């Protein structure tokens, strides 16, 4: 049996699930700014990592082709 208190909780939970507000423009812009900041901070490390990965891919593909 559902008590009155539990019924109020369920109504609040149902209202929360039905809420359809999406992300606003401000939130999206903030996420983009943070991502750009991370790219700027870790640019050299990312370039080094990508370079190593492509060198390994090239080396392994040459091994397979022989």
Listed in order, strand segments (DSSP E) in the chain are none
Do residues 53 and 61 touch, judged by C-beta distance below 8 A?
no
61 close to 54: Cβ distance less than 8 angstroms: no
Higher pLDDT, residue 66 or 25: 25
Distances (CA, A) of 54 to 4, 29, 41, 48, 65: 63, 32, 22, 10, 16
Q: What is the pTM for the complete model shown? A: 0.45
Whether the predicted pLDDT of 66 surpasses 80: no
CA 16, 20, 22, 24 dihedral sign is negative
5-40 per-position pLDDT tens digit: 667 777 777 777 777 666 678 888 999 999 999 999
Q: Where are the domains of the chain?
A: 23-66
């Amino acid at each position: 049996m559902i008590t009155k208190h539990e019924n109020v909780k369920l109504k609040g939970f149902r209202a929360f699930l039905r809420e359809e507000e999406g992300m606003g423009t401000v939130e999206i812009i903030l996420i983009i700014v943070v991502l750009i900041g991370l790219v700027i901070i870790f640019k050299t490390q990312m370039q080094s990592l990508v370079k190593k990965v492509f060198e390994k891919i090239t080396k392994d593909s040459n091994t397979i082709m022989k």
